[in-house]
Amino acid sequence: MWVARARTYFLVVLLFLFFATLSAAQSKSISIGGGSIDITLPSGEPAAFQDDLMEWVRRAADAVTTYYGRYPVKHLTLKISADDRDGVHHGVTYPENGGLIVISVGRGTTKEQLMNDWMLTHEMIHLAFPSVPRRQHWIEEGISVYVEPVARVQAGQLSVEEMWYETVRDMHQGEPESGDQGLDRTHTWGRTYWGGAMFCLMADVRIRRQTKNAKGLQDALRAIMNGGGTIAEDWEIDRALAMGDKATGTTVLMDLYHEMSDKPDPMDLDAMWKKLGITVEGKTAKFDNSAPDAGIREAITRKPSAQK
């Protein structure tokens, strides 16, 4: 009787170990910047592909940690699925469990594609800002669009020439079109993603002009995150912007919000690039270090210290 029971018990333990090993093969965890990331990898894929995915996750986490001084949340759940499309796509970030990202990667995606990917970094940046009302969704996307390439330059993953070339090439998509209103009122793709990024660029430059380049948008965004403003929190936008302004000793974010939220407020981007000393030649950017805001341009992508 006892022997039979022991045998049953033994079998149950064996079965448990068998399934635990099976599921463990698809789940991995990494620690970075004071946070931990629990990763669900797609099952049944070649080991080399799984290794590339892990390196891709580490790079994105490193870029975000470099920019923010630490990983934005204590714990992130990251679910990666594989499909037959090309490259990285369908990244979405949710507030659940303190932070949840789901993202898809095509099975044929090369290591080089993964190493040059921007999407996972973009999603992880969403963790570092509170959830605001729907009409202000542009600030969440604008921060991710603007900060992602800056963070990758600071982490040594992207050249500064490539970053400014792409920024100059794409930023105009945020300009108001005829009939568009302020960022709180016109919710097209261009205004949401690139209009939000224009807000961030202008904020960064103005903060740096007003503080003699001692502070930037990075200081404001770090302060908001360190003040508890992560994706799991529902805040009004004013609370976040006021917290950011306090950190830079300016009123740039609130002023700019009042300028851009309810009227079109077009921006002279060509004048902006000229002052920053950026010209585009072919598929790269060239820099003029005698331009009035050249020091600001250099400071934006400078690698910060961890405890800024």
Q: Which residues bind Zn ion (CB under 5 A)?
A: 141, 144
Q: Which is nearer to Zn ion, 141 or 265 (CB)?
A: 141
In the complex with Zn ion, which residue's Cβ is closer, 188 or 213? 188
User: Among residues 94 and 287, whose Cβ is nearest to Zn ion?
Assistant: 94
Cα separation values, 185 from 137, 179, 263, 269, Å: 11, 11, 8, 22
Q: CB of residue 146 vs Zn ion: minimum separation in angstroms?
A: 11
Smallest gap from Cβ 52 to Zn ion, in A, equals 23
Q: Which residues pair with 77 in a beta bridge?
A: 38, 100
The least distance separating Zn ion from the CB of residue 31, rounded to whole angstroms, comes to 25
In terms of CB distance, is 144 or 248 closer to Zn ion? 144
The pairs formed by 165-174 with CB atoms below 8 angstroms and a separation of 24 or more are: 165/280, 165/283, 165/284, 165/285, 167/201, 168/269, 168/273, 168/278, 168/280, 168/285, 169/280, 170/194, 171/197, 171/198, 171/201, 171/269, 172/269, 174/198
Amino acid at 162: E
Residue 144 or 167 having the CB closest to Zn ion: 144
- Provide, rounded to whole angstroms, the least separation between the CB of residue 145 and Zn ion: 8
Please state the closest distance from residue 187 (CB atom) to Zn ion, in A.
14
Compare residues 50 and 144 and give the one whose CB is closer to Zn ion: 144
Task: Write down the least CB distance from residue 217 to Zn ion, Å.
Answer: 17
User: 35-40 and 75-83 as β-strands: parallel, antiparallel, unpaired?
Assistant: parallel
Q: Which residue in the shown chain puts its C-beta closest to Zn ion?
A: 144
